[in-house]
Amino acid sequence: MNPRSAGERPFGEDELLAAIRKVLSGSGPGVVIGVGDDAAVVARGGGDGVLTADILVEGVHFDRALSSARDLGFKAIVANVSDVAAMGGSPRYALISLVLSAEIEAPWVMELYGGMLGACEEYGMTLVGGDLSGGPAVVVSVAVTGEVAGNRAVTRSGARSGQRLVVTGTLGGSAGGLALARAPAAKVAEALGSDWGRALLDAHFRPHARVGEGQTLAQLGATAMMDLSDGLALDLSRLCSESVAGARVDLSSVPVAPELRRLAAALEVDPLELALSGGEDYELLAALAPQSVAEASDRLGERFGVPLSDIGEVTDGRGIVAVDAAGGERPLEAKGWDHFAGR
Amino acid sequence: MNPRSAGERPFGEDELLAAIRKVLSGSGPGVVIGVGDDAAVVARGGGDGVLTADILVEGVHFDRALSSARDLGFKAIVANVSDVAAMGGSPRYALISLVLSAEIEAPWVMELYGGMLGACEEYGMTLVGGDLSGGPAVVVSVAVTGEVAGNRAVTRSGARSGQRLVVTGTLGGSAGGLALARAPAAKVAEALGSDWGRALLDAHFRPHARVGEGQTLAQLGATAMMDLSDGLALDLSRLCSESVAGARVDLSSVPVAPELRRLAAALEVDPLELALSGGEDYELLAALAPQSVAEASDRLGERFGVPLSDIGEVTDGRGIVAVDAAGGERPLEAKGWDHFAGR
A164 pLDDT more than 70: yes
Question: Nearest-CA distance from A264 to chain B in Å?
Answer: 27
Question: Nearest-CA distance from A156 to chain B in Å?
Answer: 6
Chain B residues with beta carbon closer than 8 angstroms to that of A43:
48-49, 150
Residue A6 contacts residue B338 (beta carbons within 8 Å): yes
Chain A residues with beta carbon closer than 8 angstroms to that of B104:
none
Q: Which of B53, B97, B128 sits opposite A1 (nearest CB)?
A: B53
Chain A residues with beta carbon closer than 8 angstroms to that of B338:
6
Find which of A5, A35, A38 to mutate to test the B interface (most B CBs within 10 Å of its CB): A38
Chain A residues with beta carbon closer than 8 angstroms to that of B157:
37
Q: Does A134 touch chain B (CB under 8 A)?
A: yes
Give residue-wise pLDDT tens across range B270-311: 999 999 999 999 999 999 999 999 999 999 999 999 999 999
Give residue-wise pLDDT tens across range A282-302: 999 999 999 999 999 999 999
Mean pLDDT of A174-194: 91
Report phi then psi at B239, rounded to 5: -60, -45
CA A171 remoteness from chain centre: 12
For chain B, what's the residue count?
343
pLDDT of residue B4: 41
Residues with Cβ within 8 Å of residue A326, at least 6 apart in sequence = none
% of chain A residues with pLDDT over 90: 81
CA distances from B237 to A129, A336, B58, B227, B319 (A): 21, 52, 28, 13, 8
pLDDT of residue A75: 97
Query: Is A133 within 8 Å of B61 when comparing Cβ atoms?
Result: yes
Q: Does B48 touch chain A (CB under 8 A)?
A: yes
Which residue, among A261, A256, A269, has the nearest Cα to A311 in the 3D structure?
A256
Residue B81 contacts residue B207 (beta carbons within 8 Å): no
Q: Does A209 touch chain B (CB under 8 A)?
A: no
Q: Does B59 touch chain A (CB under 8 A)?
A: yes
Find which of B55, B127, B138, B230 to mutate to test the A interface (most A CBs within 10 Å of its CB): B55
Q: Does B146 touch chain A (CB under 8 A)?
A: yes
Query: Is B43 within 8 Å of A39 when comparing Cβ atoms?
Result: no
CA-to-CA distance for B319 and B132, rounded, in angstroms?
A: 45
Mean pLDDT of A249-277: 96
Chain B residues with beta carbon closer than 8 angstroms to that of A77:
none
Chain B residues with beta carbon closer than 8 angstroms to that of A134:
57, 60
Chain B residues with beta carbon closer than 8 angstroms to that of A135:
57, 59-60, 137, 139
Mean pLDDT of A160-173: 98
Chain A residues with beta carbon closer than 8 angstroms to that of B225:
38
Please state, as a whole number, how many other Cβ atoms lie within 10 Å of the Cβ of residue A325.
9
Chain B residues with beta carbon closer than 8 angstroms to that of A62:
none
Which residue, among A259, A240, A150, A254, has the nearest Cα to A194 in the 3D structure?
A259
Mean pLDDT of A173-183: 95
CA distances from A9 to A105, A106, A110, A189, B136 (A): 9, 10, 15, 35, 18
- B13 pLDDT band (50/70/90 cuts)? low
Q: Which of A7, A89, A156 sits opposite B60 (nearest CB)?
A: A7
Helix orientation angle between B173-181 and B259-266, rounded to the nearest 10 degrees: 30
- B11 pLDDT band (50/70/90 cuts)? low
Residue A164 contacts residue A289 (beta carbons within 8 Å): yes
CA-to-CA distance for A15 and B337, rounded, in angstroms?
A: 18
Q: Collapse the DSSP code of A264 into the 3-class scheme (helix H, G, I; strand E, B; otherwise coil) and give the result.
A: helix
Query: Is B1 within 8 Å of A83 when comparing Cβ atoms?
Result: yes
Q: Fill in the DSSP letter of residue A282.
A: -
Q: Does B29 touch chain A (CB under 8 A)?
A: no
pLDDT of residue B113: 95
> A154-158, B9-13, B45-49, B100-104: which range is least confident on average?
B9-13
A343 pLDDT more than 50: no
Nearest residue of chain A to residue B50 (CA atoms): A41
Query: Is A133 within 8 Å of B37 when comparing Cβ atoms?
Result: no
- A342 pLDDT band (50/70/90 cuts)? very low
Which domains does chain A carry? 5-148 (3.30.1330.10), 164-331 (3.90.650.10)
DSSP per-residue string spanning A74-120: HHHHHHHHHHHHTTT-EEEEEEEEEEE-TT--HHHHHHHHHHHHHHH
- A341 pLDDT band (50/70/90 cuts)? very low
B24 pLDDT more than 80: no
Please state, rounded to an integer, the average pLDDT across all residues of chain A. Answer: 91
Mean pLDDT of A137-157: 96
Which segments within B20-138 are labelled E, that is strand? 31-33, 40-42, 48-57, 90-100, 126-134
Chain A residues with beta carbon closer than 8 angstroms to that of B146:
39
Mean pLDDT of A167-186: 95
pLDDT of residue B86: 98
Query: Is B41 within 8 Å of A60 when comparing Cβ atoms?
Result: no
Mean pLDDT of A179-196: 90
Q: Does A273 touch chain B (CB under 8 A)?
A: no
pLDDT of residue B78: 98
Q: Which of B38, B40, B157 sits opposite A227 (nearest CB)?
A: B38
- B267 pLDDT band (50/70/90 cuts)? very high
Q: Which of B95, B151, B225 sits opposite A51 (nearest CB)?
A: B95
Pairs of residues, one from chain A and one from chain B, whose beta carbons lie less than 8 Å apart: 246
Find which of A8, A31, A41, A126 to mutate to test the B interface (most B CBs within 10 Å of its CB): A41
Query: Which is it for strands A308-315 and A126-134: parallel, antiparallel or unpaired?
Result: unpaired
Q: Does A297 touch chain B (CB under 8 A)?
A: no
Q: Which amino acid is at A235?
A: D
Q: Does A47 touch chain B (CB under 8 A)?
A: yes
Give residue-wise pLDDT tens across range B191-224: 888 999 999 999 999 999 999 999 999 999 999 9
Q: Fill in the DSSP letter of residue B6.
A: E
Query: Is B2 within 8 Å of A97 when comparing Cβ atoms?
Result: no
pLDDT of residue B21: 76
Chain B residues with beta carbon closer than 8 angstroms to that of A128:
51
B314 pLDDT more than 80: yes
Nearest residue of chain B to residue A57 (CA atoms): B135
Chain B residues with beta carbon closer than 8 angstroms to that of A87:
33, 37-39, 41
Q: Where are the alpha helices (DSSP H) in A194-331?
A: 195-205, 211-219, 232-243, 259-266, 271-277, 293-304
> A188-192, A258-262, B75-79: which range is least confident on average?
A188-192
Question: Nearest-CA distance from B37 to chain A in Å?
Answer: 6
A320 pLDDT more than 80: yes
Mean pLDDT of B116-139: 94
A7 pLDDT more than 90: no
Among residues 87-126 of chain A, which lie with CB inside 8 Å of chain B? 87, 89, 93, 95-99
Mean pLDDT of A126-141: 94
pLDDT of residue A27: 78
Chain B residues with beta carbon closer than 8 angstroms to that of A231:
none
Please state, rounded to an integer, the average pLDDT across all residues of chain B. Answer: 91
Give residue-wise pLDDT tens across range B240-251: 999 999 999 999
Helix orientation angle between B195-205 and B185-192, rounded to the nearest 10 degrees: 110
Give residue-wise pLDDT tens across range A99-121: 999 999 889 999 999 999 999 99
Mean pLDDT of A35-39: 89
pLDDT of residue B342: 34
B8 pLDDT more than 70: no
Chain A residues with beta carbon closer than 8 angstroms to that of B128:
51
pLDDT of residue A13: 64
Q: Does B60 touch chain A (CB under 8 A)?
A: yes
Please state, as a whole number, how many other Cβ atoms lie within 10 Å of the Cβ of residue B335.
14
